[in-house]
Chain A
Amino acid sequence: MEAFSEALRYLAGSFFGTVGFAMLARVPRRAWLASGVIASLVYLVYWQLPWMGISEYLAVFCGSFLGSILGHLCARRMRIINTVYLMSAIVPVVPGLGLYRMMASLGQGQMSQGASQGVQAMIIIAMTALGLVMGSFLDRLIHDKNGKGGTP
């Protein structure tokens, strides 16, 4: 029951958090729901994979990769710019807490701890970008065989 409640909290948190972020970026209304669902799925992957013994960094990559693939898919289906969905795919895995901890440590003069937390956060950001790039690359490979670029 507790695990279910935790899962519900994380899924709802990533959904509403990302929909709020999308609203701030003035994303078209018809994309709100799909943005939230993509974000929830990305977070589900990021949250569950470490339980299966996979490192957190790889989990971030997998989540971001899945988000990128789903984002491109939704953009094509709904004929909305892919930026909308790609942004939603990376927002839930932004290491907000890690960056805050780094700031707090640096502010308290704990340089070594702060640097370590900062490096961890940077690796997560790099993995997020890598997942996004790989997903976009795969999408272009499949849908852009003529090399002229997809629908802008």
Chain B
Amino acid sequence: MLRERKETVPPAGKPAVPGTRPMVEETEIEMEALQLAAQMIMENGGETFRAEETVRRMGQGFGLRQVESFAVPSGLFISYRTAEGKLETSIKRVHHRSTNLTTVDAVNQISRETAAGALRPEKALSRLQGVSALRERGRGPMPMGAAALCAGGFAFLFQGGWREALLSAAIAALVQGVSLLLTMIGDPGIATNILGGLLTAMLSSLVAGWIPGLLTEAVVAGALMPLVPGLAMTNAVQDTLRGDMVSGLSHGASALLTACLIAGGALLAPPLLRLMSGGGL
């Protein structure tokens, strides 16, 4: 939609009709800011109702009228009426999805300031672009440490002791490292879940064979916890509660699918180990 409008506009900001104001660039900035805000929320694990609310509030903060948006987990529509009464509409597909709640929170903060009238469209867009650029930076080994902390903590909850917690932490860190490596090579998609479950169960079974008296189930269950789709479950509940059944069901199905893939991977481990060891394990 934006590209099409650009072609109809005279170059260098000259108005088509002498004496009229070239409005296109202004509204393009507003639309771009709204699109980027909603897209960043949805790409980083935010709920669809949050994306819709953000568009509505930011749009009103920009002084636009009849701001409407419709979002589903795979894309969004934005529509509003400009001060001149022209109806603008756009579609944005959301292809990439990851989890970064710091980005969602930062966009939310920009949305609040815009809604309060503290940010002009240009400034809001520039700040959103700044947040987006920050998001692209790598995180180094932090996810491995986080996975280790998560797995170790939950191993205690699953009746494990220090030994189980440390082993669980080491396995979760290793699995997270493999997942990061796969992400660096390409987009592994759902393969990460299957591989995560498989590796966790295989490593735990191998370690259990070497250490007598180890509470294997605490090690495996703890190490699987970082893979649990906790955010998708929360989003499913939040979206359903707001009456957005399509997004609620979509997030619920995503959580269920992820859990099934992790479980499937973990179920593959015992027969694979038996096959590799010739029935010894």
Within the complex, which residue of B155, B158, B235, B270 is in contact with A83, where a contact is CB–CB below 8 Å? B235
Stretch at the interface among B72-80, B83-91, B223-231: B223-231
Collect the chain B residues with CB atoms within 8 Å of residue A87's CB. 230-231, 234
Interface residues of B in 134-165 (CB under 8 A from A): 139, 142-143, 145-159, 165
Collect the chain B residues with CB atoms within 8 Å of residue A69's CB. none
* B150 lies within 8 A of A20 (CB): yes
Interface residues of A (CB under 8 A from B): 9-10, 12-21, 23-28, 43, 79-81, 83-84, 86-87, 90-92, 94, 96-97, 99-101, 103-104, 106-107, 125, 128-129, 132-133, 136-137, 149, 151-152
Does more than half of chain B's interface fall in helix, strand or loop, or is it mixed? helix
* B146 lies within 8 A of A90 (CB): no
Interface residues of B in 196-242 (CB under 8 A from A): 217-218, 220-222, 224-226, 228, 230-231, 233-238, 240-242
A101 CA to B215 CA, complexed, in Å: 13
* A26 lies within 8 A of B103 (CB): yes
A84 CA to B263 CA, complexed, in Å: 25
Which 3 A-B pairs give the minimum distances between C-beta atoms?
A17-B153, A20-B150, A13-B156
A5–chain B nearest beta-carbon distance, Å: 11
Does more than half of chain A's interface fall in helix, strand or loop, or is it mixed? helix
Collect the chain A residues with CB atoms within 8 Å of residue B218's CB. 97
Q: Can you list 30 A-B pairs, Cβ within 8 angstroms, ordered by A?
A: A10-B156, A16-B150, A17-B151, A17-B157, A19-B153, A21-B225, A21-B226, A23-B150, A24-B146, A24-B147, A26-B99, A28-B105, A79-B109, A81-B50, A81-B101, A83-B45, A83-B50, A84-B101, A86-B237, A86-B238, A91-B228, A91-B230, A96-B154, A96-B228, A97-B218, A100-B266, A106-B267, A133-B237, A152-B50, A152-B108
A16 CA to B262 CA, complexed, in Å: 23
Known contacts: A20-B148, A81-B105, A101-B217. The answer to whether A129 contacts B237 by CB under 8 A is yes
**Does B247 have its Cβ within 8 Å of any Cβ on chain A?**
no
Collect the chain A residues with CB atoms within 8 Å of residue B240's CB. 133
A48–chain B nearest beta-carbon distance, Å: 14
* B100 lies within 8 A of A152 (CB): no
* B237 lies within 8 A of A43 (CB): no
Within the complex, which residue of B45, B146, B270 is in contact with A20, where a contact is CB–CB below 8 Å? B146
A119–chain B nearest beta-carbon distance, Å: 15
Known contacts: A21-B150, A26-B103. The answer to whether A83 contacts B231 by CB under 8 A is yes
Interface residues of B (CB under 8 A from A): 45-47, 49-50, 53-54, 57, 99-105, 108-109, 111-112, 139, 142-143, 145-159, 165, 217-218, 220-222, 224-226, 228, 230-231, 233-238, 240-242, 259, 263, 266-267, 270
Collect the chain A residues with CB atoms within 8 Å of residue B53's CB. 149, 152
Within the complex, which residue of A24, A100, A125, A151 is in contact with B224, where a contact is CB–CB below 8 Å? A100
